[in-house]
Structure 1
């Protein structure tokens, strides 16, 4: 009987897994389910929010002759006993022998007022909506408040400030921006924010968002015309609702081959997987994590289909890439566990490296069947 592999989610990780499995298992039937008919360069969504046009990559072009069936729609339920998924665009469920769960992450909007009053850059629709709001507000020279000092908040604040110099951009965070960078990296970040005119407020924890202000834990408020919420990401609750074992953040708990600990016919990759180093320390949500995991999952599924025992996941990081507008950035070198080393690249060279990495990630995701996994 032909094995049917269903992959839900066509981001970096899901697309890589589908293409990899197609190469390793040419006789398998592979179905890729995604809400959109095109691949999204998620690491560029802050550019979209600042008004830049992004290239679209139709999934039919990417899948090409790989023999992968594309279903455009959103998965509503997973029946792990019947081994089938329901999709909002189909009248009948899609059965599977092996399921690859690659739904990625979503904005964490659990703080009061965020869902009602704040914008995010977690997805293309959200980034497009933010783009329109920023463009309108820029004509009135208003104030944009970005909440969150992680990479997403930093990149969004810098990109918008560079694109709209007449706009007052403020970054609010309860820690120092770029806390995961080395001192040299943080020093460069401060210089760039000074150059771009971004006001930085540290030790300021936002506990509620209103239509015209953010409320801080110390009782103070800051007025603003628009809030961009970038404090972190959560994951869809589909896995939890389906009875698959998840961690406290809702990510699927997997073994050292990315297989669900509760359902051996389910694999999880990307942001929705609670993947870890051999010592048990977690891998971070990032494109740098998602791509290798997707390719590895394709190899593991193929190995087991051929009756071989797959090798356990071995993973390491090399650097973090941070864009600060189109002509500046930080490349932070890190150790295997993503801890910063003192060495960094900054300025235009860093911007060029970041652009090369982003293009390379997209190319690799689209051509993952052609390359050996690392």
Structure 2
């Protein structure tokens, strides 16, 4: 009987879940997969802004999602990695410790909003890091009902949160604070549509300001100005847990594991890094953390693990961005289509067609996970290849009239 290899996946978010299912399916009979995560509930990070405004989403338990695959689920926090002994220390919810040995480790711990760089952000601001913090914000908004609410950071997360709050709580005045212009990465016309939507929803935009302190009743800006707010959501800055760096694994300045073209750690090739916690090089630069890029890395890592076990040559990961989809509340959206390097194309999509498109491409991954239990999902099914200038996905279904160029 073939020697069964131990594959440990730490992190059961979008990427970790797919990597675990993919490795178990592709290398069935050759591996035993253990999935480690602090919570049993599967968290849909892309929809935290909906939870934060009081919307109810379907709940899914990780043990149920991996049922029938042979994957073992361990609830706990990966608190240490011994690369020499090839073990992961897991701190369990009952204050115990478990030591898991691995032949291959998949590092998929994700990232969180960085509340440590600005005084008071950790103490006084809400985040969308997990369902508990999002639910706390929903309860706060429901109690207040009126007043001023501040959203710090005008990236896509901040924009989606601001519009969601403004639409679902029309008596709350929302102010979006940002150093740069909102959605600066979009083309001019898509961005103009987005700004008009913010104005229509009554969101006040203050760009070109820097928050230097978060207080219980508002924020202080560079220069000393105080902006009052009954609540504050912090969406700016990203941090990765220092787990890899503390283990002596090569990381970049953000704490992400530096990978080779095959998604293996450049210093420890027995470790694959995927999603937000991985610094993955491409011809246009290092991939930035999004679900759009993270899920294909998960599928590709599973493919390469299976190839390695079969003695086959590993394949490099190739990826190109396709779009920047942004919800503007529940009744509007804008999609900026991009080239592979994430620079904007002339095509963009708005209104009902954009809502349909975004709900299609950003829908819950539960169906994908169900498919992954039955089929070997390829990364080619989930990603474009870098640099291709093809028509936007959905052109044939929606028709040219739905697109603006």
- The Cα of 1:303 is off from its aligned counterpart by 0.8
1:156 — aligned with what? Answer: 161
Instruction: Please show how residues 80-91 of structure 1 align to structure 2 within 5 Å.
Output: 80-89=83-92, 90-91=96-97
Which whole-Å CA distance do the structure 2 matches of 1:98 and 1:227 have between them? 41
Residues 1:270 and 2:279 aligned together: no
Which whole-Å CA distance do the structure 2 matches of 1:327 and 1:4 have between them? 46
Which whole-Å CA distance do the structure 2 matches of 1:143 and 1:36 have between them? 33
- The Cα of 1:91 is off from its aligned counterpart by 3.9
2:49 — aligned with what? Answer: 46
2:197 — aligned with what? Answer: 192
Q: Which residue of 46, 58, 69 corresponds with 1:66? A: 69
1:291 — aligned with what? Answer: 295
Instruction: Please show how residues 211-230 of structure 1 align to structure 2 within 5 Å.
Output: 211-230=216-235
Residues 1:177 and 2:182 aligned together: yes
What whole-Å deviation, never above 9, does each CA across 1:142-168 have from its counterpart, x for those lacking one? 110001010000000000100000001
2:361 — aligned with what? Answer: 357
CA contact (8 A) 2:303 2:378 kept: no
Which whole-Å CA distance do the structure 1 matches of 2:339 and 2:365 have between them? 20
Q: Which residue of 94, 111, 122 corresponds with 2:100? A: 94
Which whole-Å CA distance do the structure 2 matches of 1:254 and 1:295 have between them? 16
Instruction: Please show how residues 117-266 of structure 1 align to structure 2 within 5 Å.
Output: 117-138=124-145, 141-266=146-271
What whole-Å deviation, never above 9, does each CA across 1:269-320 have from its counterpart, x for those lacking one? 000000121x260111111011100000000111111111111111111111
Which whole-Å CA distance do the structure 2 matches of 1:252 and 1:345 have between them? 35
SS of equivalent to 2:285: coil
CA contact (8 A) 1:41 1:362 kept: no
CA contact (8 A) 1:12 1:365 kept: no
- The Cα of 1:232 is off from its aligned counterpart by 2.7
1:106 — aligned with what? Answer: 112
CA contact (8 A) 2:209 2:221 kept: yes
CA contact (8 A) 1:18 1:32 kept: yes
Which whole-Å CA distance do the structure 1 matches of 2:208 and 2:98 have between them? 52
Larger CA deviation: 228-237 vs 83-92: 83-92
CA contact (8 A) 1:16 1:366 kept: no
What whole-Å deviation, never above 9, does each CA across 1:173-231 have from its counterpart, x for those lacking one? 11111111111111111111111111111111112111112111233221111111111
- The Cα of 1:365 is off from its aligned counterpart by 4.1
1:21 — aligned with what? Answer: 23
Task: Pick closer, same or farther for the CA change 1:238–1:151 going to 2, 3 Å.
Answer: same
CA contact (8 A) 1:291 1:361 kept: no
2:387 — aligned with what? Answer: none
- The Cα of 1:257 is off from its aligned counterpart by 0.7
- Runs ≥4 in structure 1, deviation > 6 angstroms? none
Which whole-Å CA distance do the structure 2 matches of 1:341 and 1:136 have between them? 43
1:307 — aligned with what? Answer: 311
Which whole-Å CA distance do the structure 2 matches of 1:330 and 1:130 have between them? 25
Residues 1:328 and 2:332 aligned together: yes
What whole-Å deviation, never above 9, does each CA across 1:108-128 have from its counterpart, x for those lacking one? 112111111111112222111
Which whole-Å CA distance do the structure 2 matches of 1:68 and 1:324 have between them? 38
Stretches of structure 2 that go unaligned for 5 or more consecutive residues are 381-405
SS of equivalent to 1:228: strand
- Aligned length in residues: 371
SS of equivalent to 1:208: strand
What whole-Å deviation, never above 9, does each CA across 1:319-350 have from its counterpart, x for those lacking one? 11110111100111000011111211111221
Higher relative contact order (CA 8 A, sep 6+): 1
With normalisation by structure 2, the TM-score equals 0.89
Q: How large is the RMSD of aligned CA atoms in angstroms?
A: 1.3
Which whole-Å CA distance do the structure 1 matches of 2:341 and 2:366 have between them? 24
What whole-Å deviation, never above 9, does each CA across 1:125-146 have from its counterpart, x for those lacking one? 21111111121122xx111000
With normalisation by structure 1, the TM-score equals 0.96
CA contact (8 A) 2:328 2:334 kept: yes
